[in-house]
Structure 1
Amino acid sequence: MNIDTRRRTFLASSIATGAGLTLLPSGTLAAGNDKLNIALIGAYGRGRQHHHDLKTQNVVALCDVHGECMAMAAKEFPSAAQYTDWRKCLERKDLDAVVICTPDHHHAFISIWAMNRGLHVYCEKPLGDCVAEARAVREVYLKNKHKLATQHGTQRHALPNFDRVAEMIKGGAIGELKDVHTWGNRTHDKTAYLPATGAPPANIDWEQWIGPTQFHAYNPDYFDLKPGRGCLKWNMYDDFGSWQIGDMGSHTMDLAWNAIDADRPTKIKAFGDAVNPDVCPSELTAIFTMPANDWRDEIRLAWYQGGPRPKSPNSAIDLEKIGHGAMFKGSKGVLIADFNNRILVPLGKETGMDYYTPPKEPRAPIGGFMHQWFNACKGDLKTDCDFDYAGRMIETLMLGLAAHRAGKELTYDAKAGVVTNEPAANAFLSKTYRKGWELNG
């Protein structure tokens, strides 16, 4: 039925003794009696991972540019209408919500178009491919938050360790927070867009795959129909993605973002591979100066990808063995975490923790991440990773890429969304789209 939208934790035991911790069991929030009418835009990759959850609702439309992917999804949702152009899909009048699992360069467009049509939105990460896109999605959401539920596809956020880390940081387990380091270990060796190989096969709508971004000729190596690997074929190319700072960086930074109550940075500097207009850097270090809030002072927040890591606080802990992790440094200790586990390293000669009292009632698991969004669509509209929270985080990460391209430390006015000390760097905050494509459509 069509619902009236107006009423509605990380160290393996091999690297540190006692590092592994037991996770709380996850569960699913109770679903409402009504089912949402949903369009799944991007039926394979992450879209395929959502099939199980989506079967609890009504998937009335599928949209994908690849015939093979569409055929696989149609077997799961045989009654759903099929589209290759998401703009036509969004014209349907029976939709309540959309789930967006397309290549990254479509994310902001579809999210904004859907919200402008009164639809709830679940969008895979990253929410935008540049600073301007992240800001635009957040702005449209804030205008509609009284009637729409949104969720950014950082599904690891539902793991109990995210809340345990936040409780420890905010509760003073490491004393006063000084700085935070996050990292990922993936690399790439691409140097230019792939060469043309002739016309695409009849079952691939290449024009729609390119969509709003600058045109590049078809090459089959942009595709990989192995589950979970497709994005690693194209998201290092600048017109299609942001590489790891926007990919796994969305997940790992979320572990930190959830704990530090951050807004946007005031200063950004970055260094790594030489700037290449075709591809995002494989190796990158981005350092953000985050303003103080009501419980902590100004801190430094860093992201590392492609090799670099922060220095370990203890020789017994090898950070190289943590593929995607975060380290919080405080006045009394250091907390190191990945998505599932955490370890606290006291500083100085004192090893006791008499100064820290764990919460008497830790937050209960949120249950299924997508089901939290389903329930929000039908109820209070509240999710953990709405487009306000996610928009600020992705805006920050994309500023890291902008600073790398500028080659200088940038001073940023978050309210205005402009670089104030190097005006030329503002060109790196946005992208140019093909004629006929409007971001705020």
Structure 2
Amino acid sequence: MSMSRQTSRRRFLQGVAAAGTATMLYPAANRAFGAESPNERPVFATIGLRNQGWTITSKSFRFADFAALADVDSNVLGANVEKTKKQQGKAPDAYKDYRKVLDRKDIDAVMIATPDHWHTKIAVEAMYAGKDVYCEKPLTLTIAEGKLLEKVVKETGRVFQVGTMQRSECDERFLQAIALVKQGRIGTVKKVTCGINGMVASPVIPVVPVPEELDYEFWLGPAPKVDYRALPELREGYGGGVPLYSNCHYSFRNWHEYSGGKLTDWGAHHVDIATWALGADDTGPSKVTPLDYTLPVEYKNGFPVVDDQYNVATQFNIQVAMPNDVEMIITSEGDNGILFEGTAGRFFVNRGKIVGKPVEDLESNPLPEGAIEEVYGGKVSANHTANFIEGMKARKQPISDVWSHNRMLEICHLSNIAMRLDRELNWDPTKREIIGDAEANSFLSREYRKGYEINM
């Protein structure tokens, strides 16, 4: 830990001791946040800039000034520095090492959009450095990381938003869906199906030289040391011209070493809305059963036996026993979206539509005034960053907080563990551990590679 971060944490702990249970704020958090005038705008930095990193940065220029950007790929870093300069009229400072961002006293908050295996380490160190945090979904690589983040948020008093923008930015379809459920428009909920799409397996991906612009050692970070693999075919469009098949950049989602496949990618969106509607934000399932699934490579004792192909599930049907006898199905089949079924009706919602008789009935029997605002906990924000800054200003957690996100994501992590071990898992949502299965519980955490442990 750097001397400046040690000092920040020491002062925080001394402040807590002096203030008792009062929330201790760092000087940076005491500014008047908002977008009314330039000197009232918070100062941000983004760590991890490919694809979603630029997306969340570009959506935030109207609310914040970006003083720094960090990325381990010099091409990505340079391109985004230039784009940021054009947007705000001033170039941000550029760093390969995110720790230089955390050492700066002028930065109020960091936006983290690295691959998933880096999220927790950077977020924890950022909070101890006095920064509020916006971190992309899925927040964690393991369930243990989620518990750690909850502990540090509580200990430091930092504001922390998870980038599940579906809670704020996909118009009001999902909030309307939750309101329909909570207002009893489908009676007692019996079943909810989350369609999150499957994926295709990869061919064998050979070892090739690391691109000159990429610090692959630092990209791996806490993950195991492995060779860089890629095929020469390029992904057009969203992939930004990187290899279509690789164990790096956009394809990181397809490897358990760095992410959790579709279960934690799209699952982090639709399972989130489902658990929110069910009122299960502070609890969890009792059982997770892999009904049928396809892993693209052979597994032994929960680990892939080869390292030259994608290893996350390509197809799946997972049954989850939720509170109040609600059955949740997470599936790669059918339309992407969420189907709610109850004793008095059913409806379907996704980012393009909300359909079904309970929705049609709204024409003659609309939701009560304020029903959607009640779901959201206040005025609905049309921008996820705006909701984050509102939380920073009020020193309260935003709509997508670590606690609700972790409870939802535990379902997705458990689904992956169940498939890797090929068995049903019984879950204790109070202790947050798998019941009677030591091997399965060993998958709730992972060892960080030496030299990349979390600095606390």
How far is the alpha carbon of 1:99 from its aligned partner? 0.3
Q: Which has the higher contact order (CA 8 A, sep 6+)?
A: 1
What one-letter code is carried by the residue in structure 2 that aligns with 1:4?
A: A
Q: SS of the residue aligned with 2:253?
A: coil
What one-letter code is carried by the residue in structure 1 that aligns with 2:185?
A: A
| 2:134 is aligned with 1:116 | no
Q: Tell me the alpha carbon deviations over residues 102-125 of structure 1, each in whole angstroms, 9 at most, x when there is no partner.
A: 112111221222122221111111
| Of 68-77 and 130-139, the range deviating more from structure 2 | 130-139
* Corresponding residue for residue 345 of structure 2: 333
Q: Tell me the alpha carbon deviations over residues 356-380 of structure 1, each in whole angstroms, 9 at most, x when there is no partner.
A: 7622234253221111112221224
How far is the alpha carbon of 1:353 from its aligned partner? 8.8
Q: SS of the residue aligned with 1:77?
A: helix
* Corresponding residue for residue 73 of structure 1: 80
Q: 1:59 aligns with which of 59, 66, 71?
A: 66
C-alpha contact 1:286 1:303 (8 A) present in aligned 2: yes
Q: Find the aligned partners of 1:4 and 1:177 in 2 and give their Cα distance.
A: 45
Q: Find the aligned partners of 1:273 and 1:143 in 2 and give their Cα distance.
A: 41
C-alpha contact 2:72 2:219 (8 A) present in aligned 1: yes
Q: SS of the residue aligned with 1:112?
A: helix
Q: 1:377 aligns with which of 389, 392, 395?
A: 392
Q: SS of the residue aligned with 2:59?
A: helix
| 2:427 is aligned with 1:412 | yes
| 2:211 is aligned with 1:196 | no
* Corresponding residue for residue 257 of structure 1: 275
Query: Structure 2 matches for 1:211-360, cutoff 5 A?
Result: 211-221=221-231, 228-229=238-239, 232-262=250-280, 263-270=283-290, 271-274=292-295, 276=299, 277=304, 279-291=311-323, 297-305=324-332, 308=333, 320=334, 322=335, 324-345=336-357, 358-360=367-369
For structure 2, the 5+ residue unaligned runs are: 1-25, 86-90, 241-248, 374-378
* Corresponding residue for residue 53 of structure 2: 47
For structure 1, the 5+ residue unaligned runs are: 9-28, 292-296, 309-319
Count of residue pairs the alignment pairs up? 392
How far is the alpha carbon of 1:419 from its aligned partner? 1.1
Q: SS of the residue aligned with 2:28?
A: coil
C-alpha contact 1:135 1:392 (8 A) present in aligned 2: no
Kindly tell me: are residues 399 and 170 of structure 1, through their superposed partners in 2, closer, same or farther at Cα, counting changes over 3 Å? same
Kindly tell me: are residues 220 and 88 of structure 1, through their superposed partners in 2, closer, same or farther at Cα, counting changes over 3 Å? farther
Structure 1 runs (4+) greater than 4 angstroms displaced: 220-227, 351-357
Q: Find the aligned partners of 1:224 and 1:142 in 2 and give their Cα distance.
A: 44
Kindly tell me: are residues 50 and 67 of structure 1, through their superposed partners in 2, closer, same or farther at Cα, counting changes over 3 Å? same
Q: Find the aligned partners of 1:122 and 1:83 in 2 and give their Cα distance.
A: 19
What one-letter code is carried by the residue in structure 1 that aligns with 2:120?
A: A
Q: Find the aligned partners of 1:183 and 1:440 in 2 and give their Cα distance.
A: 38
TM-score, length-scaled by structure 1: 0.81
C-alpha contact 1:38 1:96 (8 A) present in aligned 2: yes
Kindly tell me: are residues 354 and 66 of structure 1, through their superposed partners in 2, closer, same or farther at Cα, counting changes over 3 Å? closer
C-alpha contact 1:236 1:243 (8 A) present in aligned 2: yes
How far is the alpha carbon of 1:69 from its aligned partner? 0.6
Q: Find the aligned partners of 1:130 and 1:222 in 2 and give their Cα distance.
A: 32
| Of 364-373 and 242-251, the range deviating more from structure 2 | 364-373
* Corresponding residue for residue 164 of structure 1: 176
C-alpha contact 1:171 1:356 (8 A) present in aligned 2: no
Q: Find the aligned partners of 2:436 and 2:203 in 1 and give their Cα distance.
A: 30
Q: SS of the residue aligned with 1:54?
A: coil
Q: Find the aligned partners of 2:36 and 2:27 in 1 and give their Cα distance.
A: 11
How far is the alpha carbon of 1:187 from its aligned partner? 0.8
TM-score, length-scaled by structure 2: 0.79
C-alpha contact 1:53 1:371 (8 A) present in aligned 2: no
| Of 235-244 and 426-435, the range deviating more from structure 2 | 426-435
How far is the alpha carbon of 1:64 from its aligned partner? 0.5
